[in-house]
């Protein structure tokens, strides 16, 4: 009887095993591209993984419930998304989470720089032809217009890559790191554009120095991009230090330019140097807020949705880029009107 009982148990266990591994007729085989969506949909609350959202519910998570790769700010206690499919990541743009303002601030930033591109490159010329006005862009060469267009396109790319990172960072850890690389690329591209336009117009009449500084900027840009290669596994702090050093390097051509131009007595120096200092002031304040995580470090859990440091970082980034665009336009206008007549060499 004991042997027969064991045989029955084995039959039951075998039947259960067959049922578990029996393919379901109502689901097709998932392709490799769908594997992440399957991963997001199959994670269950109560398991070791953070919960995911079903298509019919919106559940925001606390800091300790959130995916581990999203827990990089211990002062933000709520408003986290769980693992989401691509479709739900896009839908989450319209949810109220701790990423909502991060997403929309740079969506509006992209719209701003797109509008400026259209205005700078098209509308000003149209007004000149209609009203028979000679504008700076009508006088400028094709390459000058290309420089302005390049600057604004790089700013737009920065806004787009940042938005994509904040939208899809919760899809999976792999997507988080991939889109973070795109985000850093956008930042590097905007820095490159700032340097290109600044050096191009600052050393307009000093070609040898123009070529020198453009070459050094490209070398630093390439070095920053190499550090983003995932398989090199470069420490994130080292990446940040590299970006800070690259931004600080701008002081060198700025001081050199002011000296070559004859100092404060040159009208172009007195007009533009305060604007360059203002650019560094805005960027420095943004970076200080970013690294200190102010104000949430003093108001833990109180600014999870509105007013956190990363949201302020986004605001000041857009402000700094817009400020630099306006500074470049003033420089172009001055060059179109005066050429190199006010240049002085030491």
Six-digit token string for 339: 């050429």
> How many Å apart are CA 242 and CA 236, to the nearest integer?
10
Residue 41: name the closest of 51, 31, 30, 27 by CA: 51
> How many Å apart are CA 54 and CA 52, to the nearest integer?
7
Six-digit token string for 103: 């997403």
> How many Å apart are CA 115 and CA 218, to the nearest integer?
28
Residue the block writes with tokens 């949810």: 95
> How many Å apart are CA 67 and CA 304, to the nearest integer?
17
69 annotated as ligand-binding: no
166 annotated as ligand-binding: yes
Residue length of the chain = 346
Six-digit token string for 248: 């600080």
Six-digit token string for 53: 């959202």
Q: Which secondary-structure segment (H or E) carries 198?
A: helix 173-202
314 annotated as ligand-binding: yes
**Distance between terminal CA atoms of the chain?**
109
> CA-based diameter of the chain, in Å?
111
> How many Å apart are CA 15 and CA 257, to the nearest integer?
82
Residue the block writes with tokens 């420095």: 284
336-342: long-range contacts (C-beta < 8 A, 24 or more apart)? 336/136, 336/139, 336/140, 337/136, 338/268, 339/205, 340/204, 340/205, 342/266, 342/267, 342/268
Yes or no: say if 76 and 110 are a contact pair by the CB < 8 Å rule. no
Q: Which residues are annotated as a binding site?
A: 166, 310, 314
Binding-site positions for Zn(2+) read 166, 310, 314
């Amino acid at each position: 009887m004991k042997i027969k009982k064991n045989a029955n148990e084995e039959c039951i266990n075998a039947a259960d095993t067959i049922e578990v591994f029996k393919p379901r007729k109502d689901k097709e085989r998932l392709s490799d591209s769908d594997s992440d969506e399957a991963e997001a949909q199959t994670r269950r609350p109560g398991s070791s993984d953070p919960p995911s959202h079903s298509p019919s519910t919106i559940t925001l998570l606390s800091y300790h419930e959130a995916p581990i790769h999203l827990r990089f700010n211990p002062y933000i206690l709520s408003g986290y998304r769980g693992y989401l499919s691509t479709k739900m990541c896009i839908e989450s743009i319209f949810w109220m989470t701790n990423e909502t303002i991060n997403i929309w601030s740079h969506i509006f930033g992209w719209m701003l720089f797109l509008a400026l591109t259209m205005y700078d490159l098209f509308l000003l010329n149209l007004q000149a032809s209609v009203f028979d006005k000679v504008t700076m862009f009508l006088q400028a060469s094709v390459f000058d217009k290309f420089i302005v267009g390049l600057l604004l396109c790089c700013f737009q790319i920065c806004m787009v890559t940042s938005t994509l990172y904040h939208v899809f960072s919760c899809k999976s850890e792999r997507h988080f790191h991939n889109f973070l690389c795109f985000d850093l690329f956008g930042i590097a591209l905007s820095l490159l554009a700032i340097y290109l336009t600044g050096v191009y117009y600052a050393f307009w009449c000093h070609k040898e120095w123009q070529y020198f500084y453009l070459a050094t900027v490209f070398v630093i840009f390439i070095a920053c991009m190499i550090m983003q290669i995932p398989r090199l596994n470069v420490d994130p702090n080292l990446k940040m230090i590299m970006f800070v050093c690259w931004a600080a390097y701008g002081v060198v051509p700025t001081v050199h330019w002011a000296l070559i131009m004859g100092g404060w007595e040159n009208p172009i120096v007195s007009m533009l140097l305060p604007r360059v200092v203002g650019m560094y002031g805005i960027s420095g304040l943004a970076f200080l807020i970013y690294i200190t995580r102010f104000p949430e470090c003093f108001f833990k859990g109180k600014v999870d949705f509105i007013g956190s440091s990363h949201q302020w970082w986004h605001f000041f980034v857009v402000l700094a880029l817009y400020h630099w665009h306006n500074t470049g336009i003033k420089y172009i206008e001055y060059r179109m009107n005066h050429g190199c007549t006010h240049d002085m060499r030491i």
